[in-house]
Amino acid sequence: MNLFLNSERQLRNGWWIVIFILVLVSILLPTLLFAQKSSMNISMGVQAVIVFLASYLCQLLRRQPLTEMLGKFDIRWCKDFFLGSLIGSALMLIPALVLSIFGLVGWQWNSASLSVISSGIFLFIGVAIAEELLFRGFVFQRLIAGLGEWPAQLIVAVFFLLTHLNNPGMSGTIKLMAGINIFLASIMFGLAFIRTKSLAMPLGLHFMANWVQGGLLGFGVSGTNQSGLLKPVLPEGLEWVTGGNFGLEASIFGLLLVVITLILLYKWKPS
């Protein structure tokens, strides 16, 4: 067996993943050094551009178009993005509604300005692009080609969880609930790609879940405080139910919605 080439005389997928990491580091390292010297933070928008450039360069090296990785930009792509956005919104609106019905959360209008809300939109767009390209883009798709769908799903879900383990508020019951939810959310995003063969639905799902949770409802997003149109007032000591300061991702109702969405995506057979 050739260590570098497969039976079709093409570079094995594992080596393409190594190349992607090297390309990503070669772009990221000078960016980090420049940001450190300039006392600047690397925004999510810049991070998204960096991951996109690494993905694009690797696709060029493979002599494959970007559409192979992102999906073909047509009316179907737009529909998948819209459907993903609806699902992402429901993942947060339904748990918030249930908490409200049972009197487990109160609501106040926030004084957030239009500029704060719009900056939140751009932030969560950057988060969705950066994370979906990194976790459901080039590497994920090479893992699928090399190992199959479920081994790729499990490997990427573990790394997706590891990148969130040091988030603010990751301790005690919150760490357990949020950890399970984040792991399953990665599987959910991956299934959305597998079913559609496009990043449109995962992008829409990821973006709207984060924005509705933080930018609209005012919950924390993976432990990061956000200013939204609303401000939730939560009781003490029921973090496993409400998600506490971490966000609805750490609540039992948020977890149930992710599980239900996973089952629906698994059974879904798009035409």
Q: Give the alpha-carbon dihedral of 139, 193, 81, 224, to 10 degrees.
A: -60
Tokens read off for 49: 């551009």
Band of residue 113 on the pLDDT scale cut at 50, 70, 90: low
- Per-residue pLDDT, averaged over 106-125, amounts to 83
pLDDT at res. 112:
66
Cα 162 to Cα 156: distance, rounded to the nearest angstrom = 10
Helix (H, G, I), strand (E, B) or coil at 4: coil
Percentage, residues of the chain above pLDDT 90: 84
Alpha helical stretches, state H, 63-171: 66-70, 75-101, 114-136, 138-147, 149-162
Cα 251 to Cα 43: distance, rounded to the nearest angstrom = 28
- Cα 201 to Cα 127, 183, 222, 266: the distances in Å are 15, 18, 21, 14
Q: Give the alpha-carbon dihedral of 212, 192, 144, 22, to 10 degrees.
A: -30
pTM attached to this predicted model:
0.95
Per-residue model confidence as pLDDT tens digits over 212-255: 999 999 999 998 988 888 999 999 889 999 999 999 999 999 99
Per-residue model confidence as pLDDT tens digits over 75-100: 999 999 999 999 999 999 999 999 99
Higher pLDDT, 39 or 26: 26
With contact defined as beta carbons under 8 Å apart, do 81 and 201 qualify?
Answer: yes
pLDDT at res. 35:
93
Cα 78 to Cα 86: distance, rounded to the nearest angstrom = 12
Domain ranges of the chain: 73-267
- Per-residue pLDDT, averaged over 204-208, amounts to 98
Per-residue model confidence as pLDDT tens digits over 125-172: 999 999 999 999 999 999 999 999 999 999 999 999 999 999 998 988
Which one, of 196, 228, 179, 246, lies nearest residue 87 by Cα?
196
pLDDT at res. 159:
97
